[in-house]
Structure 1
């Protein structure tokens, strides 16, 4: 009987072992793609990084949107940047430890307008607002400069606005000790253990505590940013800004209460996608002058973040691309050296007509590439809705549902059509487990035959 139990335990362990090994390998690879760290580093010597920042008006409040040296969350950075800029009430600058090209999640490369030191020299004092997105790799060498900058400009005259797990970056400095704050629902438990001195709030889109405003997950940062705009420039300007991007949830600015999200069994699709979708769809994202920042972020934070796609930035030339509000992006690829892609995505509700010639050239180069105008077909909708609905069609509805949940996007306007179950992503681990089990049974039987032969010989 004991041998039977041991054999069952061995079979079960072997069945799980191959699934775990391959799943962990897939997870790590997919996470690197999501963070944008799997891309070949850009050769800065080939890219003109001296770009002209937006004009500085000393009569306007200044907003510094922080970047890390390694990787920064894409929508956490781009959405506040666009919203503050769209008001025309603020100077808005992307600032980082130095002027080197830095990467947003999904592989979108950005040139900071100023280094921390350069912005301090320009202003002569602290910015009026410091926006802290989720900046990763806090243990890496070079992050110390981010820590020091936040501490240096933490006086009561500066509003500090954290987006998503940017609250962890602020908590890392000790400046949240004894204060109320919130963060992404999926990271709340971890941060409660790591920073027990902070009074974490679970059921609000954002929390205002003195000069600190912290937001919950990702799109909650839109609410927190609009709240900050309402406090600094007036509610009518905040409401007008929300309408300009067709954001449907301005009511959260007045009342940030919400129902708390929790992990449940359906969310396992996120883990399965990252662990076992090894052949990902290649999405080319076209960069062009004048593109909308949040529309661009919506594609990167929907597709690459869910583990089903890889995103590649493509443009006509290697030169920096200037967004609608003066941010400079660097494309990874051009027409001549672009990898094989399944789709070429054009973001924005009103893409430039100058793109027509380039897109025609692309069609000649690769007739099999599908052209997707992600937002232009329904320009009156908020830009996050089309990518989530497209994700449902490309993958399955559970993946799209979790994408909205991860992004903290709460809206009734989503119309999800696609496979009801993530059948495809379950097949691979089941096959791996079956193969592992067959191999163990075969080895076990060979071992038993040898054991039986030895027993017969010993008897004779």
Structure 2
């Protein structure tokens, strides 16, 4: 084998080994992120609770939850909007009453099951919300997809939030319609599902009795739009003020920026694939807490910026939110090491902070003042701790209008150090073939030289001295 070909093979092998190390590190990190992001807590008494009867003369809303895991704000955002109006009867629905994982480490217990509707214990839903779920086409979610089709065929209106469109394309609901989805999904959707016309740059797209939204936070704005349609403008404005969501207006435009993937998105990629060494944030849940404020904290810290491992904590194992959603938590005294305690929806750290003495406390509602108390203070906090660019990319990935960020700019030290270490290890792995080749050549050369030396010092067996010479 000539020298050029040998060197080319060594170089290719080194590059492949470096890529394998980087790819393996990223895959292991992403798996770790998803495992801690969608890790349901076990239920206690809530799983056996009876189904709440339907409220008469209200619009029946079913917010679906996948057994494989559900994006928190996709489900909780619409829940918080619809449940704030007495014109709607809202409940979360899944295949069973078993706890369901929500992104950002949250766990909820569904209010009802698909069988509750099939058996007639609950009247058919008039409006079905479909959030993004972890396995939209999987066999484990077949019952959920069947429920969507059955409800739609029976006259229900359907709203797909963010990548909930991935669920809807596995049904017949979007056939022949215009729709939108999370911005990074649209290219793939256009190729894989040409039976639907995919639209960019819109907060939501409405086509008949199907409404689809852009990413994550868009579900809140679209829900306010539906409230305006069904309950009137005054009611929608009241709820927008109540949840302190400033990015919707009765006659506002639905136009939003058209996002694309860029090299500047590296904080999202690094955060999702390098979870090691994350600080543990206790997400303090208090009775009656606002649902959207909880979802925003869990989503941004744990599921968009990936700056912390979020651990929901509370005084007890179950917390009922402002409008009746059941969230599960770890008692704060049993949560182990916490690097920080984030308590949304309250201006007082007690009593949770009393159970975690010495742990720094952040109160988003206090930081927000009279402004938005859900997304804005969390994004500002991320900018202070990990840098403005990390906060900007997190806002991009939940398609939330960027609020004013503090001038104080943090540095993502943890993820930067881990990325450098991973790169160094990958480069080191890549030069291993060349080093091994060099060592082999060196040893081989020494062996050859040793052999030649021994041969030069040994007597020549073909040489026989003359007898006369020997006698002399």
Worse overlay, 157-166 or 389-398: 389-398
Q: Tell me which of 117, 140, 159 is aligned to 2:157.
A: 159
Contact 1:95 1:119 in 2 (8 A): no
Describe the SS at the equivalent of 1:357: coil
Specify whether residues 7 and 260 from structure 1 end up closer, same or farther in structure 2 by C-alpha distance, changes over 3 A only. same
Q: CA deviation at 1:197?
A: 0.8
Displacement, 1:325?
A: 0.5
Q: State whether structure 2 residue 342 is matched by structure 1 residue 342.
A: no
- CA-to-aligned-CA distance 1:212-233 (integer Å, 9 cap, x gap): 1100101111121111111111
| Pair 206,357 (structure 1): closer, same or farther in 2 beyond 3 Å | closer
2:207 paired residue number: 209
1:418 — aligned with what? 409
Q: Secondary structure at the match of 2:428?
A: helix
1:130 to 128, 132, 148: 128
SS state at 2:256 partner: coil
| Partner of residue 309, structure 2 | 310
Contact 1:223–1:253 (Cα < 8 Å) also in 2: no
CA offset at residue 416 of structure 1? 6.1
Spell out the pairing of 1:379-458 with structure 2 (5 A cutoff): 379-382=369-372, 383-415=374-406, 417-419=408-410, 423-437=416-430, 439-453=432-446, 456=449
Kindly provide the CA deviation profile for residues 380-419 of structure 1, in whole angstroms up to 9, marking residues without a partner as x.
Answer: 2221011112112222232211100001012443446424
**What is the CA–CA distance in structure 1 between the aligned matches of 2:451 and 2:179, rounded to whole Å?**
73
Cα distance in 2 for partners of 1:341, 1:324 equals 26
Counterparts of 1:332-371 in structure 2 under 5 Å? 333-348=330-345, 350-351=346-347, 356-363=350-357, 367=358, 369-371=359-361
2:291 is aligned, of 290, 293, 300, to 293
Task: Answer with 1 or 2: which has the greater Rg.
Answer: 2
1:128-152 Cα deviation digits (max 9, x unpaired): 2111111221344431110111011
- Asked if 1 retains the 8 angstrom alpha-carbon contact of 2:284 and 2:352, the reply is no
Cα distance change on mapping 1:235 and 1:455 into 2, 3 Å: farther
* Deviation sequence 1:163-221 (CA, Å, 0-9, x none): 10111111111210110000000111222222221111112110000011100101111
Match of 1:372 in 2: 362
Please tell me whether the aligned partners of residues 71 and 103 of structure 1 are also in contact (alpha carbons under 8 angstroms): yes
What is the aligned partner in structure 2 of residue 11 from structure 1? Answer: 14
Change (3 A) 1:272 1:411: closer
Aligned pair in 2 of structure 1 residues 388, 53: CA closer, same or farther (>3 Å)? farther
| Alignment partners' CA distance in 1, 2:118 and 2:365 | 38
Q: 1:80 aligns with which of 72, 78, 81?
A: 78
Aligned to 1:174, the other structure's residue is in SS state coil
Distance 1:91 1:385 in 2: 29
How many residues align? The count is 446
What's the offset of the Cα at 1:426? 3.3
1:49 is matched with which residue?
Answer: 47
> RMSD of the TM alignment (CA)?
2.4
Superposed, which structure 2 residues align to 1:218-367 within 5 Å? 218-251=216-249, 254-305=252-303, 306-318=305-317, 320-331=318-329, 333-348=330-345, 350-351=346-347, 356-363=350-357, 367=358
Q: 1:65 aligns with which of 60, 63, 66?
A: 63
CA distance in 2 between partners of 1:457 and 1:198 (Å): 75
Q: Distance in 1 between matches of 2:248 and 2:182?
A: 19
Deviations 1:250-270 (A, max 9, x none): 148632122210000011222
Q: CA deviation at 1:74?
A: 0.1
TM-score scaled to structure 1, two decimals? 0.89
2:468 match: none
Which residue number in structure 1 is paired with residue 461 of structure 2?
A: none
Measure the CA separation in 1 of the matches of 2:83 and 2:251.
18
Q: Where does the alignment leave 5 or more consecutive residues of structure 2 unmatched?
A: 456-472
Cα distance in 2 between the residues matched to 1:146 and 1:444: 57
Distance 1:427 1:54, change over 3 A: same
Contact 1:66 1:96 in 2 (8 A): yes
- Equivalent position of 2:28 in the other structure: 25
Judged with a 3 Å threshold, the aligned counterparts in structure 2 of structure 1 residues 416 and 26 are, in CA distance, closer, same or farther, namely farther
Q: What displacement does 1:425 show? A: 4.8
CA distance in 1, matches of 2:69, 2:421: 31
Is 1:282–1:312's contact at 8 Å kept on the other side of the alignment? Answer: yes
